[in-house]
Structure 1
Amino acid sequence: MRDRLYLRSPRTVAAARQFTRDTLHAWGVDERLDDMSLCVSELATNALRYGVQPGRGYLLRLFGFEDATVRAEVHDSGPGLSRITDRPHGQGLTLVQALADEWGVVPRTPGKIVWCEFRIG
């Protein structure tokens, strides 16, 4: 497991994406790298847009499991649970749903964890 805390700034989305790519390369995972990076970008963007309260940040946590599953989690402190909507400007979770093998939302105090998983190989 590797994780990194990001402050509330739009610049952190690119940093989260690069952290994901660097971590996966270090783990020897090259398959589906672009899909995972895009999903992390979308989850980080959603956290910034809807879930990170002023003065707070979000946590990106990456897991590599022995069964060849990679999991990305974004922890934020915002209220409510992320969901797919019909808004024309909010299609990030639709992309995550299309690219990831599984995804979901888990409540926590405060906020939530939005996660996605990819099976490799």
Structure 2
Amino acid sequence: MNESTQLSLTRSKFFLGELQSVRAAREFARALLREWELSGLHGSVVLCVSELATNALLHGAPRDDGFWLRAGYDGAVLRVEVRDGGAGVPCVGEGVPDESGRGLMLVAASSDAWGVDRDPDGSGSGKAVWCEWKVP
């Protein structure tokens, strides 16, 4: 990114509630990282997008509703969030060998911060699960 570029970038895309959407969300994230010249974060960001998109499909809103992937970069912090219409709030598992909560353990370990915002658009439902990376 050259110095004349204004650093307040945001992109979002809607993905259908189908398994192929996880791969499409990863590709969308990869394209943004290339465009924003943040390839050093590639592995962590793509892993987190994959986990959050999978969680949205498996535990979020009904499959017909799909999910939104939103990314923002202000020159210091990259934030990625996945929004779905589900009411449940995800939590990190206790490290047990089953599948529940392990994805969020990876998100927590791969990002600088993560969290959940309930009702992010003021519609009275849904959530956004987000993670952030500090960019040197």
Which TM-score applies when normalising by structure 2? 0.84
Larger RCO of the pair (alpha carbons < 8 Å, separation 6+)? 1
Which runs of 5 or more residues in structure 2 are unaligned? 1-9
Q: Which residue of 2 aligns with 1:104?
A: 115
Preserved contact between residue 18 and residue 63 of structure 2 (Cα < 8 Å) = no
Q: Which residue of 1 aligns with 2:129?
A: 114
Larger Rg: 2
Q: Does 1:29 align with 2:38?
A: yes
Q: Which residue of 2 aligns with 1:40?
A: 49
CA distance in 1 between partners of 2:63 and 2:22 (Å): 17
Which runs of 5 or more residues in structure 1 are unaligned? none
Task: Tell me which amino acid in the other structure corresponds to 1:42.
Answer: E
Q: Does 1:80 align with 2:79?
A: no
Q: Deviations over 1:9-31 (max 9, x none)?
A: 01100100010010110011111
Structure 1 runs, 4 residues or longer, greater than 6 Å off: none
Percent identity of the aligned residues?
39
Which TM-score applies when normalising by structure 1? 0.94
